[in-house]
Amino acid sequence: MALDRVDFTNQFLIAMPGMGDGAFAGTVVYLCEHTEKGALGLVINKPIDIKLKNLFEKVELTLDRADLAETPVYFGGPVQTERGFVLHERLGGAAGEGGHYNSSLQIPGGLEMTTSKDVLEALSNGAGPKKILVTLGYSGWGAGQLEDEMSRNGWINVSAEPGIIFDTPVEQRYDRALLLLGIDSGMLSQEAGHA
């Protein structure tokens, strides 16, 4: 009997303390897509030493949004670290309408993730989505890889809460994501237990 495939799209993956991969230790990943072919997500709690205004300068745009200029860019994951990914609130419009940007992924029940420069151009003109998180790179898993990591207690998952991404101070995001499950991070052991 085949098991039904589990879909972790629009969920947080929270790295467990025993996570063997140093790149993901202490991270919370927002999962943008999860299919039988694999998964794609963005780390939401690892800022890097680049501010949005600097990123805009690199792509020859100005950022006229004072509320965003000093916002950090995040390490989204170890894949394509030279490429920008913009996680943002869903734009207005009728349900089912396509995004306003080229190459936008509408995450079912969740946010949008855009990889095209036009979202940056909109932001540079003072328009665009109000709430954004910009990463360099993404986190990717091949077919069955994420499920395998989860079965070995590398991650736990919970339905994503946009307020944690956009409104929670970065140093509190890991703990707040765990609290969605009723777990205090101080209670977690470095050792995975198996019954």
Q: Tens digits of per-residue pLDDT, 45-104? A: 999 999 999 999 999 998 888 888 999 999 999 999 999 999 999 876 433 344 467 788
Enumerate domains of the chain plus CATH numbers: 11-186 (3.40.1740.10)
Across 25-29, 96-100, 126-130, 143-147, least confident range: 96-100
Task: Return the closest-CA partner of residue 136 out of 120, 150, 149.
Answer: 120
Rounded mean pLDDT of the chain?
88
Instruction: Assess contact for 107 and 10: CB atoms under 8 A.
Output: yes
Share of residues in the chain with pLDDT > 70 (%): 89
Burial classification of residue 187, based on how many CB atoms lie within 10 Å of its CB (0-12 exposed, 13-18 middle, 19 or more buried): exposed
pLDDT in tens, 101-114: 778 889 988 899 99
Task: Return the closest-CA partner of residue 84 out of 64, 58, 108, 46.
Answer: 58
- Would you state the pLDDT for residue 1? 40
- Confidence band for 191, pLDDT divided at 50, 70 and 90: low
3-state secondary structure at position 188? coil
